[in-house]
């Protein structure tokens, strides 16, 4: 299999539509700039969607799930069986993202990339099983080159499904016990940093637990040259199937011209890998929120991302991104429905 598709150009942003949307904003009945980020959101979306009045009514959410061999090191507050159990909960409609997706009228798919406690066939769960879990990356690379390729392509298949469904916004979520260890290790590899500032509590480790998690990541990083910034290599060394799938989904969504709303810590680590592999994918990303997870603020700053919300969330599943969708919809509504100064007979400055 070839990986050439990863570096193919992203869809072009239409500068003329962006300019026209900016000009339209300047005519709406408000002091220029007074709707702040909401204005900027609508204008960016206009350029992405090649229209003056964009919309994010149609939202696609893919939750990628996978298990991690590094869970054996005792790096999570929860047992590994929870990954498979939560897939069942997603399918049954009881998880946070299930409730949020219903509320938004969003399309929700779950992609099972491999779980130790496999829940089997379930409605709205796509099986793209690579292996029951990744290898324990303290001992050997998390996955083979072929497994990485399968995961990246599973993500791209979700972007294709989103496009086929006419989605105007792509949200990637994730579920995988121990994946904050994998995401922190990936970020360390990509940034050449030590885990002290990037590893956090995840599902709820105490200070001692975080110390142990840092030591586990240090053991893994010691296996590789610290000055290597090859994103695909780091994904296969310390990544997860769901993290690689997110990376493939983001790149493919950007190539298809679907705006992306990035969620929390794990998804932002995947977004950083995507941007390293295909830099123009960054233009297609909005960042929903600042997760409570230590390390997320650092990743956002590296990506020069200004997230929409800061609610102390640290759930994952795409939940923070789903929570930010109403704001994006309001930004589009204001942009397309407000009266202009001329229409309302209001004097300009």
Ligand X SMILES: O=C(O)c1ccc[n+]([C@@H]2O[C@H](COP(=O)([O-])O)[C@@H](O)[C@H]2O)c1
Catalytic residues: 317
**How is residue 289 annotated by DSSP?**
B
**Binding characters for ligand DMD, 76-95, by CB under 6 A (x = yes):** --x---x---x---------
Residue 133 binds ligand X, judged by CB under 6 A: no
* Contact call for residues 303 and 268 (beta carbons, < 8 A): yes
C-beta closer to ligand X: residue 149 or 293: 293
Nearest distance in Å: CB 303, ligand DMD: 22
Question: What value does the CA radius of gyration of the chain take, rounded to a whole number of Å?
Answer: 20
C-beta closer to ligand DMD: residue 309 or 330: 309
The footprint of ligand DMD on residues 269-328 (CB under 6 A) is 315-317
63 binds, among ligand X, ligand DMD, none (CB under 5 to 8 A by kind): none
C-beta closer to ligand DMD: residue 273 or 315: 315
Nearest distance in Å: CB 316, ligand DMD: 4
* Contact call for residues 307 and 268 (beta carbons, < 8 A): no
Question: Which region, left, alpha or beta, applies to residue 318 given φ > 0 means left and ψ of -120 to 50 means alpha?
Answer: left
Nearest distance in Å: CB 200, ligand X: 7
DSSP for 188-249, written as a single string: HHHHT--GGGT---TTT--HHHHHHHHHHHHHHHTTS-TT---HHHHHHHH--HHHHHHHHH
The only residue of 91, 159, 162, 178 in contact with ligand X, by rule CB under 6 A: 178
Nearest distance in Å: CB 89, ligand X: 12
The footprint of ligand X on residues 233-262 (CB under 6 A) is none
The only residue of 167, 316, 323, 325 in contact with ligand X, by rule CB under 6 A: 316
The only residue of 175, 249, 253, 277 in contact with ligand X, by rule CB under 6 A: 175
Find, among 160, 70, 150, 156, the residue nearest to 113 by Cα: 150
**Binding characters for ligand DMD, 157-196, by CB under 6 A (x = yes):** ------------------x---------------------
The only residue of 266, 271, 273, 274 in contact with ligand X, by rule CB under 6 A: 266
Three-class SS string for 62-126?
EEEECCCHHHHHCCCCCCCHHHHHHHHHHHHCCCHHHHHHHHHCCEEEEEECCCCCCCCCCCCEE
* Contact call for residues 84 and 117 (beta carbons, < 8 A): yes
CA distances from 197 to 128, 194, 219, 294 (A): 33, 7, 16, 7
Q: Which residues bind ligand X (CB under 6 A)?
A: 76-78, 174-181, 202-203, 263-266, 291, 293, 296, 314-317
Q: Which residues bind ligand DMD (CB under 6 A)?
A: 78, 82, 86, 175, 203, 315-317
């Amino acid at each position: 299999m070839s990986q050439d598709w990863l570096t193919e150009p992203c869809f072009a942003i239409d500068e003329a539509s962006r300019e026209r949307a900016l000009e339209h904003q300047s005519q709406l009945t408000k002091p220029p700039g007074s709707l702040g980020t909401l204005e900027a959101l609508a204008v960016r979306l206009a350029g992405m969607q090649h229209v003056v009045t964009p919309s994010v009514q149609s939202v696609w959410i893919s939750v990628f799930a996978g298990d991690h061999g590094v869970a054996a090191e005792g790096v999570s507050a929860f047992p590994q069986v929870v990954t498979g159990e939560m897939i069942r909960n997603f399918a049954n409609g009881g998880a946070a993202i299930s409730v949020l997706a219903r509320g938004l009228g969003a399309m929700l798919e779950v992609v099972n990339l491999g779980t130790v406690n496999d829940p089997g066939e379930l409605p709205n769960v796509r099986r793209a099983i690579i292996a029951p879990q990744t290898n324990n990356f303290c001992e050997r690379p998390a996955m083979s080159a072929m497994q990485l390729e399968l995961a990246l392509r599973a993500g791209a298949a979700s972007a294709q499904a989103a496009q086929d469904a006419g989605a105007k916004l792509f949200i990637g979520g994730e579920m995988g016990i121990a994946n904050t260890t994998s995401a922190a290790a990936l970020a360390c590899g990509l940034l050449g940093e030590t885990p002290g500032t990037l590893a956090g509590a995840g599902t709820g480790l105490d200070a001692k637990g975080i110390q142990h998690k840092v030591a586990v990541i240090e053991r893994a990083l010691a296996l590789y040259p610290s000055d290597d910034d090859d994103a695909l290599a780091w994904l296969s060394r310390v990544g997860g199937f769901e993290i690689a799938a997110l990376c493939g989904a983001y790149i493919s969504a950007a190539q298809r011209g679907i705006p992306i709303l990035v969620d929390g810590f794990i998804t932002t680590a995947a977004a950083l890998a995507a941007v390293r592999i295909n830099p123009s994918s960054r233009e297609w990303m909005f960042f929903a929120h600042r997760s409570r997870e230590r390390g997320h603020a650092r990743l956002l700053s590296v990506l020069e991302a200004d997230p929409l919300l800061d609610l102390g969330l640290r759930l994952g599943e795409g939940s923070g991104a789903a929570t930010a969708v109403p704001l994006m919809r309001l930004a589009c509504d204001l942009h397309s429905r407000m009266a202009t100064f001329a229409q309302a007979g209001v004097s300009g400055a």
